[in-house]
Structure 1
Amino acid sequence: MNTPTLNNVQVQRIRAIGLTVTNCDRSLDFYTQALFFELISDITVEGQNYSDLEDVIGAKIRIVTLRLGDELIELMEYLNVEGKPIPRDSQSNDLWFQHLAIVVSDMDRAYTHLNSFPIEPISVSPQTIPPENEASGGVRAFKFKDPDGHDLELIWFPPDKGQDKWHQNSHRLFLGIDHSAIAISNTEQSLHFYRNLLGMQIDSRSLNWRATQSRLDNLPGAEVKITGLRPIQDGVGIELLDYILPGKGRPMPSDWKSCDIAHMQIQLVVNDIEQLVNNLRQNGVQFVSSQIVQFTDNSFPYRQGCLVKDPDGHSILLIVQ
């Protein structure tokens, strides 16, 4: 099993992370006011291309693009389809779990500001990873939910941790998105997909456990093996969360679709989508889009797209800009 080299087909960077939401206006208010994202665009798309891409018949989607620092998210509201809500009893080890890690320059100030909004906390309070954890010691984090129940995390890096960009002098409180973390059932299985097939590179490994992780996840006895991945052009990464204790949670239901509110899709800019799609088909990867979809609308942010699933059902949108 060969790990791709720089000459092979591979992911260049993460363009954006899409979240299906119940109501764009409500989510727009939350992300701009509570987390200081900036509105970039607000468009509505429909037609066969978008239905084919997301495998939702007659899809009419309002897409609101927001920026925080250098990073983008897309709020996606299906205007003519009512999606299923996120299960109220979701836990961090359920295999549909996925969060955005939002970097802050001052955890205490950010936490105080966030608490002036009607958030649903996951963590008891901001937690500091113990110093004996070599990979993550000193990192502070707090997990919570947005108005739809999407999982989010505030994260603060001490001077010796995190990317250099998070330590530049900045007057801003909320700096950008470091990674999206996903719960997985098997690290090696996920590495075959993200590293061997997509060409992402391992950036870090750690084991987080004890009372700190339990308070962070609101999950008694939590012990999680974390593998960080980044594309070759750096930027936003993906963290694989492999829960050893209390064990794997529930699998992602096979009937969940892009219009359901738990849906998140990571947009990966790739250098050769045709070859990559062929490679993924040969490796038995699950496809949501029946084929590569072409977009001719110049206002749309990419020219080609194809939606696939990772081994645990997380949505990955391969794009060519």
Structure 2
Amino acid sequence: MSSQTDVQSQIIRAIGLTVTNGDRSLNFYTQALLFELVSDITVEGQDYSDLEGVPGVKIRIITLRLGDEFIELMEYLNIQGKPILNDSQSNDLWFQHLAIVVSDMDRAYDRLRSFPIEPISVAPQTIPPENEASGGVRAFKFKDPDGHDLELIWFPPDKGKDKWHQNGDRLFLGIDHSAIAISNTEQSLHFYRDLLGMQIDSRSFNWRATQSRLDNLPGAEVKITALRPVQDGVGIELLDYILPGKGRPMPSDCKSWDITHMQIELVVNNLEQLVDKLRGNGVQFVSPRIVQFSDHSFPYRQGCLVKDPDGHAILLIME
């Protein structure tokens, strides 16, 4: 076996969301969804500018935890990014959501409705039983104050990880996956599986009225490929919309400070080797170099931001 095949994605450390107002987003995620505050720091300097591809950057990074999983709310303090388009749809290729697992869908939905959310789904939807991979799963999609897409998801006893069924009395349990809209499944598998070393966890096909009501997208049919890193944890779901077809592409000028920007922080076992491999395969780089961090309070030692074939941001890191 050649050394190049040894590169592996170990685990997703966190998912970063660029936000307009850190305090507003902090209040929403902690009050509506019961995330817990871990840290609230401000970073600046050349290393962070190179990492995110933003000159003269100053970023407030608010780290939140839900169960075992983490998100980072990233507020660019010295530059205002473009907002998410109001007419954004699930099949637009910039679409990305976080799936937040709940122990009781009806209670979670009732709680959420007392906060200023923008619903996407008509109401919580139950996947039909003829869908072998996800029959019985209940889901509800909505938007946070910035328009980032979120999903509440409930797993029946025969679906989902064991940990989602050992919840005690908590209502919001953690993050199961981040789902991204893609233009071509095989193209994305080449990137995530063949280059990054992730593993296929499951495949499914969602359609009929349930999916349309879930996505608020008439006639929706979507091919879903679920991927996991080798150490499990948060997964990535590839959403390949067959109907109504592919939506709009990611804008070519989308930057890290734009509110559309989300970045999956992926821990890898050999960053230098992986970067060489990605460069050799024509992958788009945002960071001009592997950034080395000497600040021991920062959560990782090395980082490099790249984009997948459809423009979704992946922050490759070594802890």
Q: In the TM superposition, what are the counterparts of 1:14-163 in structure 2 within 5 Å?
A: 14-163=12-161
Going from structure 1 to structure 2, the CA distance change for 1:173 and 1:200 (only over 3 Å counts) comes to same
- The one-letter amino acid of 1:98's match is Q
Q: Does 1:311 align with 2:306?
A: no
Q: Is the 8 A contact 1:141 1:153 kept in 2?
A: yes
Q: Which amino acid is the alignment partner of residue 52 of structure 1?
A: D
Mapped contact 1:139–1:156 kept (Cα < 8 A): yes
Provide structure 1 residue ranges, at least 5 long, that are not aligned to the other structure.
none
Deviation at 1:170, TM superposition (A): 1.6
1:267 aligns with 2:270: no
Q: Is this contact kept in 1: 2:4–2:273, CA < 8 A? A: no
- 1:195 and 1:13 map into 2 onto residues whose CA distance is 14
Shift of residue 246, structure 1, vs aligned partner: 0.0
Matched with 2:173 is: 175
Q: Deviations over 1:300-321 (max 9, x none)?
A: 1011000000000000000011
Call closer, same or farther: CA 1:5–1:137 in 2, change over 3 Å: farther
Partner-residue secondary structure (3-state), 2:6:
coil
Cα 1:292/1:132, change in 2 over 3 Å: same
For 1:219 and 1:283, the matched residues in 2 are separated by 35
Change (3 A) 1:59 1:226: same
1:122-158 C-alpha deviation (Å, 9 max, x unpaired): 0000000000000010000000000000000000000
User: Normalized against structure 1, the TM-score is what?
Assistant: 0.98
Which residue does 2:191 correspond to in 1?
193
Contact in 2 for aligned 1:5/1:199 (Cα 8 Å): no
Aligned equivalents of 2:95 and 2:23: distance in 1? 24
Alignment partners' CA distance in 1, 2:172 and 2:93: 28
The alignment partner of 2:294 has SS state of coil
SS in 2 for 1:112: helix
CA distance in 1: counterparts of 2:89 and 2:223, whole angstroms: 16
- Distance in 2 (CA, whole Å) between partners of 1:192 and 1:163 is 26
The whole-number CA distance in structure 1 between the counterparts of 2:238 and 2:163 is 22
- Distance, in Å, in 1 between the alignment partners of 2:5 and 2:281 is 20
CA shift for structure 1 position 10? 1.1
Between the aligned partners of 2:110 and 2:207, the Cα distance in structure 1 is 26
**For 1:64, what is the secondary structure of its paired residue?**
strand
Number of the residue aligned with 2:251: 253
- Give the CA deviation at 1:6: 11
- Paired amino acid for 2:73: L
In structure 2, the CA distance between the partners of 1:146 and 1:277, relative to structure 1 (3 Å rule), is: same
* Equivalent residue number for residue 292 of structure 1: 290
1:165 to 163, 166, 175: 163
Distance 1:68 1:169, change over 3 A: closer
Alignment partners' CA distance in 2, 1:70 and 1:6: 31
Give the counterpart letter for 1:157 in structure 2.
F
Residue in structure 2 matched with residue 244 of structure 1 by the alignment: 242
- The amino acid that maps onto 1:289 is S
The alpha carbon displacement at 1:169 in A equals: 4.0
* Residue of structure 2 equivalent to 1:222: 220
Q: Which residue of 1 aligns with 2:206?
A: 208
Aligned counterparts of 1:243 and 1:5: Cα–Cα separation in 2: 35
Q: Which runs of 4+ in 1 moved over 2 A?
A: 4-7
SS at 1:219 equivalent: coil
C-alpha RMSD of matched pairs (Å):
1.3
Deviations, residues 29-88 of structure 1 (Å, cap 9, x unaligned): 000000000000000000000000001110000000000000000000000001000011
Q: TM-score, normalised by structure 2?
A: 0.99
Compared with structure 1, are the counterparts of its residues 98 and 200 closer, same or farther at alpha carbon in structure 2 (3 Å cutoff)? same
**Matched positions, count:** 319
Secondary structure (helix, strand or coil) at the match of 2:111 reads: helix
Q: Structure 2: which 5+ residue stretches go unaligned?
A: none
Q: Deviations over 1:150-202 (max 9, x none)?
A: 00000000000001110114210000000000000000000000000000000
Letter in 1 for 2:80: E
Q: Contact 2:4/2:277 (CA < 8 Å) preserved in 1?
A: no
